[in-house]
Amino acid sequence: MIIGERKSLEEIRKMIGGYKRVLVVGCGTCVTVCLAGGEKEVATLSSALRMAAKKDGDGLEISEATIERQCDIEFIEELREKVEQVDAALSMGCGAGVQTIAETFSEIPVYPALNTRFIGRTEEQGVWTERCAACGDCILHVTGGICPIARCSKSLLNGPCGGSKDGKCEINPDVACAWQLIYDRLKALDQLDKLEEIVPVKDWSVSRDGGPRKLIREDVRL
């Protein structure tokens, strides 16, 4: 899923400073699961904003709404009535959610309440880690199901650099060396021979480097 993290109250207040009526919009998908922008977090942020405004005598009116998916126009339409009542919207969705709301309602400004961090998973309660960099050309079949693009600090394709020590990455002892994980996994699978082959230069054109990406599937188009 997409992992998000809420911006500081201070930064959010600065963004929406000057508006009298603001709609805080939550998203029921990824950011609900990672406890960053679901219904509960919308309620928490909204009361924090109300309290801060009251303290400063700002007269800010906050309304709340949480929809199933902010990256889906079908659900965004449900917001229309509420949007007509406000001066600005504060999205607690990922970057795709913020932009889909902005593209749908061109008459009001939409601000991001979250930083969209990465595609990953929950490792334990309160701990999330990156798993995928959406490079557009998956190589997990040669790396034992562990992604060196997302998980090696240098995105190396041909094994660990000279900074791998005791299973840790040179950048930080809290970061596992992806290539140590790959090595251990392939050893357990008796597939170490896969690491003898030189992995050729990667085609980054299907990654973000190729420009904004678009996927068209004729078989499912209407």
Which positions lie near another protein, rule CB under 8 A? 153-167, 170-172, 177, 179-180, 183-184, 195-196, 198, 200-202, 204
Query: What is the Cα–Cα distance from 91 to 107, expressed in whole angstroms?
Result: 15
Which residue, 201 or 216, has its beta carbon nearer to another protein? 201
Which residue, 20 or 165, has its beta carbon nearer to another protein? 165
Write down the least CB distance from residue 198 to another protein, Å. Answer: 6
Would you list the DSSP string of 48-112?
Answer: HHHHHHHHHT---EEEEEEES-TT-HHHHGGGHHHHTT-SEEEE-S-HHHHHHHHHH-TTS-EEE
The DSSP call for residue 65 is: E
Taking Cα atoms as reference points, which of 204, 10, 28, 212 lies closest to residue 113? 10
Which residue, 73 or 171, has its beta carbon nearer to another protein? 171
Which residue, 33 or 133, has its beta carbon nearer to another protein? 133
Strand partners, 169: 172
Write down the least CB distance from residue 92 to another protein, Å. Answer: 26
Write down the least CB distance from residue 221 to another protein, Å. Answer: 34
Write down the least CB distance from residue 33 to another protein, Å. Answer: 29
